Amino acid sequence: MRLIQEKTVYQLTFMPILFPVNCYFVEEETGLTLIDAALAFGYKDIIKASEKIGKPITKILLTHVHGDHIGALDALKETLKNVPVYVSKRDSRLMSGDISLDADEGNLPIKGSVPKNLKTRADIFLNDGDMIGSLLAISAPGHTPGSMAYLDTRNNILIAGDAFQVRGGFAIAGQKKVLFPFPALATWNNIVSLESATKLRRLNPSILATGHGNMLINPQAAMDKIINDTEIKLKEKKYVT
């Protein structure tokens, strides 16, 4: 596991060369907020990283409920029994394997590694605009119907889950990169992903931290370009007008 710090945010990367999967610590005054739970084998490394930093894990926030973002969740909860788990109400349904759609969500299937045997359930449902310590919760559907992002309001670092990817080339969820196609293959709705990417850009993040790939410092120009490029691609495919 690789550990990199940018200001109040620590990126924990598993398999950084072959198939990088990230989760994050956000440092608060008295503890650490863990965002996502990476892969199942990584739970001991997550605990060890918190011990190295010297603060306890006090909250677990999920960007969305795919296997590479909740893999270590059950094992972590066995150790951190009193630590609450936060997720959007919409994605909480995926925790029990429910991939049904709401009436207003169209007919595109929910994709990706939705868990089948996850024991952990959410303690707190998140809504757009909620504050969790220093973090602003932002609804960012598209990759899944209930995807969330989190903005550290102290420094504008944005932890965006799979709303964007950096590994294999910068992209919005749903736009396939040949060198790392997996986030695109697991994306529910490309048009909604573009809308969420545009919403996240308006936050003017100082650093963009995603589920796959290195943290991107001063990402505004790159975000502008990829949003514009994606709009053009989707118009060509007649997905947007």
Q: Which domain holds residue 51?
A: 2-236
- Which of 47, 40, 34 shows the shortest CA–CA distance to 87? 34
Cβ neighbors of 51 (< 8 A, separation 6 or more) are: none
Confirm whether 66 is domain-assigned: yes
Q: What is the pLDDT of residue 189?
A: 97
The structure tokens listed for 210 are 């995603």
Q: Could you write out the DSSP letters of every residue in 43-107?
A: HHHHHHHHHHHT--EEEEE-S---HHHHTTHHHHHHH-TT--EEEEHHHHGGGGT-----GGGTT
CA atoms within 13 A on the CB side of 148: 29
Confirm whether 143 is domain-assigned: yes
Confirm whether 208 is domain-assigned: yes
Cα 112 to Cα 146: distance, rounded to the nearest angstrom: 13
What pTM, to 2 d.p., does this model score?
Answer: 0.97
Number of domains in the chain: 1
Q: What share of the chain is helix, strand, coil (3-state, %, to 5)?
A: 30, 25, 45
Question: In this structure, what are the phi and psi dihedrals at residue 215, rounded to the nearest 5 degrees?
Answer: -65, 140
The structure tokens listed for 229 are 């490029």
Cα 71 to Cα 162: distance, rounded to the nearest angstrom: 15
Task: Give first-to-last CA distance, the chain, whole Å.
Answer: 44
Question: C-alpha angle 224/227/231, rounded to 5°?
Answer: 140
Confirm whether 241 is domain-assigned: no
CATH number at residue 131: 3.60.15.10
Task: Give Cα 169 distance to the centre of its chain.
Answer: 17
pLDDT per residue rounded down to tens, the chain (241 residues) = 999 999 999 999 999 998 999 999 999 999 999 999 999 999 999 999 999 999 999 999 999 999 999 999 999 999 999 999 999 999 999 999 999 999 999 999 999 999 999 999 999 999 999 999 999 999 999 999 999 999 999 999 999 999 999 999 999 999 999 999 999 999 999 999 999 999 999 999 999 999 999 999 999 999 999 999 999 999 888 665 4
Q: What is the pLDDT of residue 239?
A: 65
Confirm whether 21 is domain-assigned: yes
Cα 236 to Cα 161: distance, rounded to the nearest angstrom: 27
